[in-house]
Amino acid sequence: MSVHADLHRHLGGSIVPRIFWHYLHRSANRLASEYPVFEEFEQYLTRPRATLTEFLELHTMVERTQTLETLPYFISKLVRGAFVFEGILYLELRHTPYYRTDNHLSERERIRQMREVVRVIGKASYQPEYPIRVRQILCMHSRLPEHINRAIVDLAAQEAGTVCGVDLAGPDTLYQERLKEHIQMFLYAKSLGLKTTCHLFETANGAYPELLPYVDRIGHGIHIPLQRPELLPAIADRGQCLEVCPTSYLGCTMYAYPLNTKTCSRWT
Ligand SMILES: [Zn+2]
């Protein structure tokens, strides 16, 4: 069988709809009563979203169910599926640890609990029957304040055994007002010896060439050749890898401009 590596998979978006639906019903989650029939739930998850922000609401919905207690279950299903059905032997799994902490705790306690989240994910990722190597990328988030993003970078550096880098995720429309801060944060990450990646040029609104020099890899970058092809030589000179996902670009309406496709968004 052919084997693969996946460099860009979100913990909040990688749960198969049927597994998630069964989980909601078994745990008597509020969403279960809203969607008693699986097909309706699947339709809700996969209907087209017009914007990245709207699409990310799906991640938020999943994130709320991923706690210290439930993470081992979700990770076990994810690792099994990646190995058995996709032939993946190396997987970089990205998530914002703060959003998996207990939201009843104080901010300070939640920041402290992020370490436990990373360790639980690291432990659950190791399953001898599915010999797949999983590393984590910790995502700073455009909705989180600077001091929490900084704590995420610090944690990534301290947990280098299971974490291989940091990312910036969340609605890209929010980057603009904090560009200087994000650049400083990437420089800080690099000073700690971390690899960096960032969701950039993923949408027509996410074009921030100012951030390009500070990342080792570019999350998506699909709109660079479409809108700003003059940036490509410098990207090649810096040896920056683009984490592309052609099936998403062809399937998602939120990537439509100027691809002009009208099919469903993919739940991956
Ligand atoms: Zn992503």
DSSP 111-133: HHHHHHHHHHHHHHH--TTS--E
- Across-strand partners of 196? 166
Do residues 94 and 10 lie in contact, with contact meaning Cβ atoms separated by under 8 Å? Answer: yes
* Cα first-last separation, the chain: 22
DSSP alpha helices (H): ranges in the chain?
17-26, 30-34, 38-46, 52-63, 71-86, 107-125, 146-158, 179-191, 223-227, 232-237, 246-251, 256-259
Distance of CA 219 from the midpoint of ligand 1 (Å):
6
Q: What is the pLDDT at residue 97?
A: 98
Q: What is the pLDDT at residue 257?
A: 45
> Per-domain residue ranges for the chain?
4-259
User: What is the full per-residue pLDDT of the chain (268 aa) written as tens digits?
Assistant: 788 999 999 998 888 888 889 999 998 888 888 889 999 988 888 888 878 788 888 888 888 889 999 999 999 999 999 999 999 999 999 999 999 999 999 999 999 999 999 999 999 999 999 999 999 999 999 999 999 999 999 999 999 999 999 999 999 999 999 999 999 999 999 999 999 999 999 888 889 999 999 999 999 999 999 899 999 999 999 999 999 887 777 766 555 444 333 332 333 3
- ∠ Cα 113 193 188 (to 5°): 70
Q: What is the pLDDT at residue 147?
A: 98
Distance CA 163, CA 240 (A): 20
Q: What is the pLDDT at residue 254?
A: 56
Looking at residue 259, its amino acid is: L
Distance of CA 229 from the midpoint of ligand 1 (Å):
22
CB count, 10 Å around CB of 61? 15
Distance of CA 199 from the midpoint of ligand 1 (Å):
6
Distance of CA 15 from the midpoint of ligand 1 (Å):
14
Distance of CA 93 from the midpoint of ligand 1 (Å):
10
- Chosen CATH of 4-259 out of 3.40.50.300, 3.30.1330.60, 3.40.50.720, 3.20.20.140: 3.20.20.140
Distance of CA 113 from the midpoint of ligand 1 (Å):
24
Distance CA 46, CA 37 (A): 15
Distance CA 179, CA 177 (A): 6
Q: What is the pLDDT at residue 56?
A: 81
